[in-house]
Amino acid sequence: MPVGTQATVKGVTAAQLRETTATLPDVTAQMILGNTYHLALRPGHELIRKMGGLHQFMNWDGPILTDSGGFQVFSLSKLNKIDERSAVFHSHIDGRKIDLTPEYSVEIQESLGSDIAMVLDHVIALPASDEAVIDATERSVRWAVRSLNAATRSDQARFAIVQGGLNETIRAQCARDLAAHPFDGFAIGGLSVGEPPPEMYRIVKATCPHLPEDKPRYLMGVGRPIDMLEAIAEGVDLFDCVMPTRNGRNAFAFTDEGPLKLRNAIHKDDPRPLEDSCPCPACQHSRAYLRHLFVTGEMLGPILLTIHNLTYYQRLMHQAREAILAGTFLELLERHRALAAPKEM
């Protein structure tokens, strides 16, 4: 899922976003992610509801998943107080106090009208004591059940979020506790927050076996191509990450040969596109042109590389699906493991 925090995937029109999958066979729509916290602050979920919901507001007719706000409470708010009832914190925009209960997160997401709503969870900073991790994890399970009970829309799916820090036992217990409830899918949260990738893979590997086989699994906030493929190997289906868009804005292009940093002088007079076979608008140009756009600070550089990277990520996920069906997934994974130590190009 491309990340569309504030009702826009940064720098990309809805038509351009649709085109990132246009040449992939059997892919007719892709899901994007919106953020409950950001949208509740600006422009406000009541306004979006009045405007016909988030799909109409941002003119996106594909599926939308909304995050619950739990991660933003953790990452954005310096002053927050979490107790059993709610997370009380201060807006990063204007300092206004917000009392976010699991039920209020459901209400906001129902106003937004996303296709998939995430439950509010309690994300804690790592490292933390086992006691603190267990406390936050058990609270996350109770909040997840409260969210399920608060939901009123029959046209919105609800995903729970497994917490448990870097402790395999706590993760497994959390996964089993959540799997006992009729959620439509299960996310693995609280990862990709600074831990080394092998730690993340270890937790994903320990968690997936305890999740239902027939429900989608979503690894939140991940990640690099290799991270996604390693997680797919463990049974994960769905990802969101700002990496294709944020890196694109910073002149970093993903390619099947490894990353390219477009500000580097080596690209100065290179007539080749980023990738020969890529159908995206960036690949209608030379690397020399793309570098020129970044060197001169032109908006079109970030725009084109964002579109290229989203196209690359969508193609990678398509390749993973095709490889699974063809029984060649491990070859794809090995190829990307070889690429994963990025060379400066």
Binding site, annotated residues for Zn(2+): 278, 280, 283, 308
- The residues, any chain, with a CB within 8 Å of residue 111's CB and separated by 6 or more, are 45, 46, 48, 49, 53
Of 270-299, binders to its own copies (CB under 8 A) are 271, 281, 284-286, 288-289, 291-293, 295-296, 298-299
- Binding site: which residues? 67-71, 121, 163, 190, 278, 280, 283, 308
Six token digits for residue 68 = 């619950």
Six token digits for residue 53 = 């919901």
The active-site residue out of 61, 67, 177, 237 is: 67
**Site for its own copies (CB under 8 A): which residue of 6, 23, 101, 250?**
6
Cβ(3)–Cβ(240) under 8 Å? yes
Q: How far is the CB of 54 from its own copies (least distance, A)?
A: 10
Stretch that binds its own copies, among 100-108, 217-225, 266-274, 324-332 (CB under 8 A): 266-274
240 is catalytic: yes
- CA 332 to CA 108: how far, in whole Å? 40
Six token digits for residue 232 = 């797919």
276 is catalytic: no
CA distances from 151 to 147, 158, 317 (A): 6, 9, 31
Phi-psi region of 42 (alpha: psi -120 to 50; beta: other; left: phi over 0): beta
Which is nearer to its own copies, 56 or 75 (by Cβ)?
56
- CA 45 to CA 242: how far, in whole Å? 22
- Binding site for substrate: which residues? 67-71, 121, 163, 190
Catalytic residues, by residue number, are 67, 240
Name the site residues for its own copies (rule: CB under 8 A).
6-8, 10-16, 42-43, 47, 50-52, 57-59, 268-269, 271, 281, 284-286, 288-289, 291-293, 295-296, 298-300, 302-304
